[in-house]
Chains A and B, each alone.
Chain A
Amino acid sequence: MRLLPSRRSDVVGFVVLAVLLAVFPLMAPLSWVNVGVYALIYAIAAIGLTLLMGLAGQVSLGQASFFAIGAYTQGILVTRYGWSGIPSAVVAVLLASLAAFVLGLALLRLRGHYLALGTLGLGIIITVFATESDFTGGTSGIFGIPKPEFNGRTYDEPAEFFWLLIPVVVVALLVARNIVTSRVGRALGAVNDSEVAAETLGVDTFRLRLQVFTLSAAYAGLAGVFFAHWLAVVNPNAANFPLSVKFLLISVLGGLGTVWGAVVGGFLVEFLDEGMKTLIPQLIPGATGEVQLLGFGIVLVLVIILLPGGLHQAWLTLSGALGGRGRPAAEPPPRPAADGAPSPPGAATGPTDESPLFVRDGRPEPGSTLLEVRGLTKRFGGVVAVDDVDLDVRAGEILALIGPNGAGKTTCFNMVSGVLTPTSGSVTLDGHRIEGKKPHVFARSRATRTFQNLQGFGSATVLGNVMVGRHLRSRSGMLRGALLAPARREERQIAQAALDTVELVGLRDEAAVPAADLPFGRQRLMEVARALALEPDLLLLDEPMAGLSADERRALAQLLRRLRAGGMAIVLVEHDVEAVLALADRVAVLDDGRLIALGSPDEIRADPAVIAAYLGVDEHDTEAEDAVRQMSGESGGGRA
């Protein structure tokens, strides 16, 4: 069973690519090589854009802005200040990244639309600035930029320049590929599936997106550097919107799921561009102007609707159809045997094992207050969902939060974990005020949660999901991820720890299964494992028992007891009142947003307000009827 994607096929890919590119100028006519030079230059910018769109899930309509910043900087430093190529390229790339960093700081906290339109605006601002300013040479721009020279050799023939570009493209691809497979890449992939879940596992979405955006601008800046040298002229056209559209088309056509696509897309779009310009005026006599835009537009729409994964998807389909060796998606995922019952949580250690789990040095003493909620209130318009709730959670206890549907349990969780901002009130976790802060702040204080509505990372395997849970327990940033080697040992540790956690909840056999293929109940267990991988001190579980078989429930309850024994604080929202009363140390009851009772299970069983609350609700609420029946000792019947 393959748990981690093998790197061997990638190595083969890189060699094949390098060889193919190297022989291209020998085989192709000169005009093709010329086109190929631009294809490679644009591909570099498009690789960055692919990272931004495919990995960070953000769209830039102004990739050409950063391209222009790179090109202008290089042009000005080389022609006006006599700098040599390499130091000025470094400055050019840094400036492009800096521009993205500043813009991203402002826009990436907001929804994706704003980055798209903001980058588009940046392109226009740069065009206006470059046109207006004498420093950038006005509309004529910077010209007379020499061809690069190394060891006395000038790279001025298309084929030579093409060869010069090959190592750059290959390294650019390697770096991008490494980032995609790194810890940062995994976290961003998770963000794309469920931003809220990734955040509660400690992924600082904003920070990572900002890093990727900055990096993608660096790619564009680098492409701009080569563009400046090859074309010898940089003018305001370099920041033009149509060029940004071209970069976008290259990325989308190549496929956002893979950085390789950008190189293929680069060649295809450049030839498509040439083809359209020749073809359309022949089909429609008298057509002049940027007629190739017609093709660009149509291809964009068609690809998104028919082939959302781009050529990469077509390639997977193709290699799958030919039965060739493809990617994991083409392999039949090992499924749990249909007859043999899947193993329940804790099966590996035996059903009676009660030894503590996840003991951690430095964890707050059992019984000390870990979470302090005061006056927590949430209003949606005129409706008060949670009303002035005070609650303490102590280390080493299981606290159950129960109440009828719509009592505000999940809203409480959302406010405590930072998914919602409270209207008023405070949340103090381990001495820090965290209300209104983003969920990764909550996770950073060693606290995490699961969700009532499943929030699995559908594009990853079970193990991949749980590895995201290790995000805060590992450190490799983007730089280390890009260099790969130093990050690899840590990757193995992450995988091992994640695998141990997976085993704990009884998902060992399904570790390599895509998360989306798991049955409902098993996905819940996976989310529990994912949360545990964070090694939290405080764990909020929102209906973890729903959809589980009786065996699985028993095993999960046992697991929770062992976690409690290890000193973890667990807050449980659960409809299965009987299970909860058997498990919890204390029970808090919410009704209509207010905390109506708090005490030991026995106290709650006897509390008249609680029984009234459960009886007072909608008479068709079978869950509530069950709950009342269970509380008064009858056997539950309504639920499957």
Chain B
Amino acid sequence: MTDFLQLAFSGLTVGAVYALVAVGFVAIFTVSEVINLAQGEFAALSGLVAISAVASGLPLVAALALAVVSVGIVAVLMERLTIAPVKRMTTLTSIILTLGVSTALKALMLLVWGPNSRGLTPFPGQDFTVLGVSIRAQELWILGITAVVAVALIWFYERTGWGKALKACAEQPTAARLVGISLARASMLSFLIAGVTGAVAGVAASPIYFSSWEAGLAMGLKGFVAAALGGLVSIRGALLGGLSLGVLESLVAGYVDTGLRDAVAFVVLIILLVVRPGGVFGRHAEARV
């Protein structure tokens, strides 16, 4: 039982990181139907920026703020420079474009920070053990931060005019314009949200999961699977999807075979798409022409 709790808890923590990356996918997809393959790179980049900022003497809080803000700017720049100029955005174009950005970002990180992975200074707090389950302070930080971001996002999308307008964009561009938001601005805003949530995931995870130039690929992919579990259009679904994916991975690693951990997400993805293409936690979306 202790083992189960320990596995489930550590899975929940990893899952929280996936969830934060996943909501970024949803934020962008609902507005422009673009799957942003650079989503994981946002997280990797913010971790590395924060590490450098701390190393250069900034206090931790300032380093975190700097990392989140700069990745937010990178995300908006990405939208302005690569997404906005394309007039007829097809699935094909969007995938190739965001793949290009993701690849270039990866290589840039490699050039600036080198190939080694490293961790950010842990956030303050004491590790402790409860019911035989050992809990690190950083894990509580991750869960807490995810909860705060989740509540903020749900409030934004369901209670504010801008949030509702963003949600409406994909289905009803005109409706969105009526609420007073242009598609261009909505797209920019969605990338900002994705950049910030990705960055938050990156800095929160860095102290225990480490950051490196190539960490974004796995994080992005698993974030995508989490978002797909929620049907790609639901923030709540993506959050739930991330948490359950994390727990499932951890349980498979613990009880089946640790080597299979990274395959779990994709086996789940393929089974999911065959059985329930609309997602498990999302509204059932019509998957037709």
Q: Residues of A at under 8 Å CB distance from B? A: 53, 57-59, 61, 103, 106-107, 109-114, 116-118, 120-122, 124-125, 128-129, 131-132, 195-196, 199, 205, 241, 245, 248, 252, 256, 280, 284, 287-301, 304-305, 308, 419, 421, 438-439
Contact B289 A301 (CB under 8 A): no
A118/B269 contact (C-beta < 8 A), A289-B115, A298-B100, A304-B100 known: yes
| B96 touches A (CB below 8 Å) | yes
Q: Which of B35, B85, B92 contacts A117 (CB 8 A)?
A: B35
What are 6 A-B contacts with C-beta separation under 8 Å? Answer: A114-B277, A117-B225, A128-B259, A256-B92, A294-B103, A299-B100
- A121-B266, A301-B101 are known; give 11 further A-B pairs, CB within 8 A: A106-B270, A113-B232, A118-B266, A121-B221, A128-B259, A241-B217, A294-B110, A301-B82, A301-B97, A304-B93, A304-B96
Contact B287 A111 (CB under 8 A): yes
Q: Which of B95, B108, B287, B288 contacts A61 (CB 8 A)?
A: B95
Could you tell me the distance in whole angstroms from the C-beta of B214 to the nearest C-beta in chain A?
9
Could you tell me the distance in whole angstroms from the C-beta of A190 to the nearest C-beta in chain B?
13
Q: Which residues of A contact B217 (CB under 8 A)?
A: 241
Contact B103 A297 (CB under 8 A): yes
Contact B102 A297 (CB under 8 A): yes
Contact B269 A117 (CB under 8 A): yes
Q: Choose among A58, A113, A118, A284 the residue with the greatest number of B CB atoms under 10 Å from its CB.
A: A113
Contact B107 A290 (CB under 8 A): yes
Q: Which of B269, B287, B289 contacts A196 (CB 8 A)?
A: B289
Main secondary structure of the interface of A (DSSP, over half): helix
Q: Which residues of A contact B131 (CB under 8 A)?
A: none
Contact B221 A118 (CB under 8 A): no
In the bound assembly, the distance between CA atoms of A58 and B94 in angstroms comes to 12
In the bound assembly, the distance between CA atoms of A107 and B263 in angstroms comes to 18
| B224 touches A (CB below 8 Å) | yes
A112/B110 contact (C-beta < 8 A), A120-B221, A248-B99, A304-B97 known: no
Could you tell me the distance in whole angstroms from the C-beta of A32 to the nearest C-beta in chain B?
25
Could you tell me the distance in whole angstroms from the C-beta of B216 to the nearest C-beta in chain A?
12
Could you tell me the distance in whole angstroms from the C-beta of B81 to the nearest C-beta in chain A?
8
Contact A112 B103 (CB under 8 A): no
**Interface membership of chain B positions 189-200, coded 1 if the CB is closer than 8 angstroms to chain A and 0 otherwise:** 000000000000
Contact A300 B96 (CB under 8 A): yes
Contact B228 A114 (CB under 8 A): yes
In the bound assembly, the distance between CA atoms of A436 and B106 in angstroms comes to 45
| B161 touches A (CB below 8 Å) | no
| B273 touches A (CB below 8 Å) | yes
Q: Which residues of A contact B107 (CB under 8 A)?
A: 290-297
A301/B100 contact (C-beta < 8 A), A117-B224, A117-B228, A120-B221 known: yes
| B152 touches A (CB below 8 Å) | no
A245/B221 contact (C-beta < 8 A), A114-B273, A117-B228, A124-B263 known: no
Q: Which of B110, B221, B262 contacts A290 (CB 8 A)?
A: B110
Within B100-140, the residues touching A (CB, 8 Å) are 100-108, 110-111, 114-115
A61/B270 contact (C-beta < 8 A), A117-B35, A124-B263, A293-B104 known: no
Task: Number of B interface residues at 8 Å Cβ cutoff, please give it.
Answer: 49
| B267 touches A (CB below 8 Å) | yes
In the bound assembly, the distance between CA atoms of A259 and B69 in angstroms comes to 44
Q: Which residues of B contact A294 (CB under 8 A)?
A: 103-104, 107-108, 110-111
Could you tell me the distance in whole angstroms from the C-beta of A102 to the nearest C-beta in chain B?
10
| B86 touches A (CB below 8 Å) | yes
Q: Which residues of B contact A59 (CB under 8 A)?
A: 91-92, 95-96
Return the chain B residue nearest A302 by Cβ.
Answer: B100
Q: Which residues of B contact A205 (CB under 8 A)?
A: 289
A301/B287 contact (C-beta < 8 A), A106-B270, A280-B111 known: no
In the bound assembly, the distance between CA atoms of A103 and B273 in angstroms comes to 10
Contact B92 A58 (CB under 8 A): yes
Could you tell me the distance in whole angstroms from the C-beta of A104 to the nearest C-beta in chain B?
11
In the bound assembly, the distance between CA atoms of A288 and B105 in angstroms comes to 15
In the bound assembly, the distance between CA atoms of A128 and B263 in angstroms comes to 7
Contact B221 A112 (CB under 8 A): no
In the bound assembly, the distance between CA atoms of A104 and B286 in angstroms comes to 19
Q: Which 6 pairs between the two chains have the least Cβ-Cβ distance?
A: A297-B104, A121-B266, A300-B100, A297-B103, A294-B107, A112-B91
Could you tell me the distance in whole angstroms from the C-beta of A238 to the nearest C-beta in chain B?
17
| B184 touches A (CB below 8 Å) | no
Contact A118 B106 (CB under 8 A): no
A132/B260 contact (C-beta < 8 A), A110-B273, A111-B287, A296-B103 known: yes
| B274 touches A (CB below 8 Å) | yes
Contact B288 A124 (CB under 8 A): no
Contact B106 A297 (CB under 8 A): yes
